[in-house]
Each structure stands twice: as structure tokens, then as C-alpha cells.
């Protein structure tokens, strides 16, 4: 018996198989997963054979399944949308994802294709950016010399040393001048 991915024309099958994001195909009426690409298998730590037939709710944390049931039903009705979610790897690790879902017809039946983007790299980058910003802010604010940024001829950042030097009580009083 052919799987849904095998029935796709070659070009689309290649896109499905080689995508950097996880892709799950789910039957709208039963909620059962019909297929998954290799990246989806990696995300949840299961083989394609193990995924096929699973209920889509098994991808998510047990205590939040009702919320995900409502999201699935809404996407099946609306036809498309993007949601933030968590999926659970076989080892129990929770993985934040962004799901872009679209309703399609597959073999004459309504289905949802969900593209699952792993948000961990983005979260790591945001954390590093926040840490760097915090370090630079401390460096600028604790500095014993004047530090300021001007954009379009106006102060956008001033440390306390500059405010004191110019006779202002607070650096915020100079912003925009």
C-alpha cells in the first residue's frame, strides 16, 4: 500500500523528504497521522512506521491535549494558520515549535499538513542576544567615561556620566534632545 508521500509527484515528494522543517500529514476526520518526513521523525524521536497511525494529540504534552485538539479543529475549519506549540520527543524533552498548518485534500479525504519549525535555535539566539545586550548595558552604565548614542541628531542613549556632565539628574532626561 502506498503512503501519502509516495503518491506525491516527484518534485513535491523531494520537497517533503528533504525539508529542514518537520512535516506531518494528518487525517482531519480521525486525527490520525498519515505520514511524516525524516525531520519530523527526528523531532519526536520516532520512526515513520511508529508515527503512522498515531493520533496527532500524542505529539503534544498530555496535560495540554485539549488545547491542541481545539487548535487542530480550528485549523481544519479555517483551512490554514500558524500557531506556537510544544511537541514531546520520545525521551520526554519538550520542543517549542511553530506550526504552519494548511487543509488539503489527500486521496479524496480532508487532511492537514503541518510544517513544524523547531524554535530552539531561535530561542538560543535570543538568549545570547539578551545576554550580550545586558553585558553591554552594564559596561556602558558603569563606565566612568561618557557613553552616548546619537541618531538623526538626537540622543537615543546616554549613560549617567554624560547626564551628570551636562547637568541633568537622569539620563532619560536627555533622550530625544
Measured over the CA atoms of residue 88, residue 89, residue 94 and residue 100, the dihedral's sign is negative
Evaluate if residue 49 carries a pLDDT over 80.
Answer: yes
Closest by CA position to 118, among listed 102, 100, 101, 96: 96
E strands in the chain: 22-27, 33-36, 80-88, 94-106, 109-118, 148-151, 154-158
As a whole number, mean pLDDT of residues 109-131 equals 87
Average pLDDT over residues 82-90: 95
CA distance 73 to 141: 51
Close Cβ partners of 19 (under 8 Å, ≥ 6 residues apart): 37, 39, 115
pLDDT for the residue numbered 136: 73
Among 9-23, 25-39, 118-132, which stretch is predicted with the lowest mean pLDDT? 118-132
> Whole-prediction pTM value?
0.69
Amino acid at each position: 500500500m502506498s503512503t501519502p508521500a509516495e503518491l506525491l509527484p516527484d518534485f513535491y515528494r523531494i520537497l517533503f523528504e528533504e525539508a529542514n522543517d518537520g512535516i506531518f500529514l494528518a487525517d482531519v476526520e480521525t486525527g490520525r497521522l498519515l505520514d511524516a518526513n525524516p525531520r519530523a521523525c527526528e523531532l519526536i524521536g520516532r520512526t515513520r512506521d511508529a508515527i503512522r497511525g498515531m493520533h496527532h494529540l500524542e505529539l503534544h504534552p498530555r496535560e495540554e491535549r485539549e488545547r491542541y485538539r481545539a487548535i487542530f479543529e480550528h485549523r481544519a475549519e479555517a483551512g490554514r494558520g500558524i500557531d506556537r506549540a510544544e511537541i514531546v520527543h520520545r525521551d520526554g524533552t519538550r520542543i517549542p515549535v511553530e506550526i504552519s498548518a494548511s487543509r488539503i485534500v489527500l486521496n479524496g479525504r480532508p487532511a492537514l499538513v503541518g510544517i513544524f519549525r523547531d524554535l530552539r535555535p531561535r530561542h538560543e539566539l535570543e538568549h545570547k542576544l539578551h545576554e550580550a545586550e545586558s553585558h553591554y548595558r552594564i559596561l556602558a552604565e558603569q563606565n566612568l567615561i561618557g557613553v552616548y548614542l546619537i541618531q538623526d541628531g538626537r540622543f537615543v542613549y546616554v549613560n549617567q556620566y554624560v547626564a551628570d556632565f551636562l547637568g541633568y539628574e537622569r539620563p532619560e532626561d536627555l533622550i530625544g534632545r
